[in-house]
């Protein structure tokens, strides 16, 4: 029994590995094509394009794992079924429950790997890739509006024209209000760099202060210290889509928004999706299990691979659609994140019971 479990695990892992490599090469090729337009800007050469693509590979692996798990396991199980090996295993005593246990074990291992990739590796390699590209092409990180990025910081509103690749800031405007919502001070700085937790150093500073009597006082400073809860991690969330951030950074930013009385729905949904995402791999593997209980006729392998691709694409779009619907209709963030995976799990369970004649033993 252990030998059959090991053999089954090896075949499925090989199927997933080769599918993942194929998809990764395809997406990396698209990355190269997309970056060719920037070759020649500043010091951005073809060699740096390939370095950029290489650094982005962990991000693609993270995104492609669930689809690769589904397609690869379908290919592996369909191949075993076409050679009647599944039938032989079942005759030898390998019940549908044993197949499910093997797939869940593989899924949990891949889920752990996905979690490590998403939280520890992808943020580092992705940030390095973007910083390298931005420095080489002399670009800025983000401009959410024409006037730059707008943030709320306690009783102040902050406008940052540019976030530079080294996380320094350019063109900073700080509008400070008192408890009665009266504008008390406007601070402008050409540049800002992060010193430590809650402290920024501003350079070439101009401050305009307003008192309650209506008097205005303007002062010029070479340098000044700005105390703020904002930090490079929070700015990295603002200058990137929530789906690209780590769960830790998203959690900190959600807390920052709550403290400032701002809406958190989009970031909460992204946070819960990030936490649930690895378990989606287990569900994908279970979704492939019904293919093990069908005999593949001649020419049927290609049809199953195509079906696997279509199901994988459909699942990807379904997850995205559900998240957007939760944001639009104000559903609970946990519900918006968990429901697609739960629905797919119930569907997989129903198909497994149907294919195995209602018995898992």
Residue 350 is predicted with a pLDDT of 86
Burial grade of 212 (CB within 10 A; 0-12, 13-18, 19 or more): exposed
* C-beta separation of 89 from 77 below 8 A: no
| pTM of structure | 0.71
Q: What is the DSSP letter of 295?
A: P
Residue 142 is predicted with a pLDDT of 47
Domains (range + CATH), the chain: 2-137+267-355 (no CATH), 149-230 (2.30.30)
Residue 203 is predicted with a pLDDT of 94
Report how far residue 320's alpha carbon sits from residue 332's, in angstroms, rounded to the nearest whole number.
Answer: 15
Low-confidence ranges of the chain (pLDDT < 50): 140-143, 298
Residue 51 is predicted with a pLDDT of 94
Give one DSSP letter per residue of 143-158, joined into a string: -SBTTBEEEEETTEEE
Residue 301 is predicted with a pLDDT of 65
| pLDDT over 70 percentage in the chain | 86
Give one DSSP letter per residue of 18-49, joined into a string: HHHHHHHHHHHHHHHHHHGGGTTSTT--HHHH
pLDDT in tens, 61-79: 998 898 899 888 888 888 8
């Amino acid at each position: 029994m252990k030998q059959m479990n090991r053999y089954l695990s090896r075949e499925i892992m090989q199927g997933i590995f080769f599918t993942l490599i194929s998809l990764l090469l395809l997406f990396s090729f698209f990355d190269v094509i997309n970056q060719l337009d920037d070759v020649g800007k500043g010091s951005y050469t073809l060699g740096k394009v390939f370095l950029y693509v290489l650094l982005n590979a962990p991000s693609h692996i993270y995104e492609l794992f669930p689809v690769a798990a589904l397609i690869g396991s379908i290919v592996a199980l369909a191949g075993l079924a076409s050679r009647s090996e599944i039938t032989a295993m079942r005759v030898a005593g390998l019940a549908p429950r044993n197949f499910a246990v093997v797939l869940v074990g593989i899924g949990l291992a891949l889920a752990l790997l996905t979690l490590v990739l998403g939280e520890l590796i992808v943020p580092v390699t992705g940030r390095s890739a973007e910083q390298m590209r931005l420095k080489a092409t002399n670009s800025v990180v983000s401009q959410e509006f024409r006037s730059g990025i707008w943030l709320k910081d306690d009783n102040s509103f902050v406008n940052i024209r540019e976030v530079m690749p080294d996380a320094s800031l350019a063109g900073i405007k700080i509008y400070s209000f008192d408890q009665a919502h009266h504008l008390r001070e406007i601070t402008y700085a050409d540049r800002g760099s992060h010193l430590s937790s809650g402290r920024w150093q501003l350079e070439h500073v101009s401050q305009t202060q307003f008192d309650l009597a209506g008097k205005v006082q303007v002062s010029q400073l070479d340098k000044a210290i700005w105390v703020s809860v904002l930090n490079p991690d929070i700015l990295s969330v603002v200058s990137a889509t929530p789906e690209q951030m780590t769960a830790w950074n998203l959690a900190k930013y959600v807390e920052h928004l709550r403290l400032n009385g701002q809406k958190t729905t989009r970031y909460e949904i992204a946070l819960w999706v990030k936490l649930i995402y690895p378990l989606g791999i287990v569900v994908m593997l279970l979704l492939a299990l019904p293919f093990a209980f069908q005999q593949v006729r001649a020419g049927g392998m290609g049809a199953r691979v195509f079906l696997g691709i279509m199901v994988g694409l459909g699942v990807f779009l379904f997850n995205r659609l559900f998240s957007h619907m939760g944001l639009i209709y104000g559903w609970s963030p946990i519900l918006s994140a968990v429901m697609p995976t739960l629905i797919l799990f119930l569907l997989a369970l129903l198909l497994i019971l149907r294919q195995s004649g209602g018995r898992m033993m």
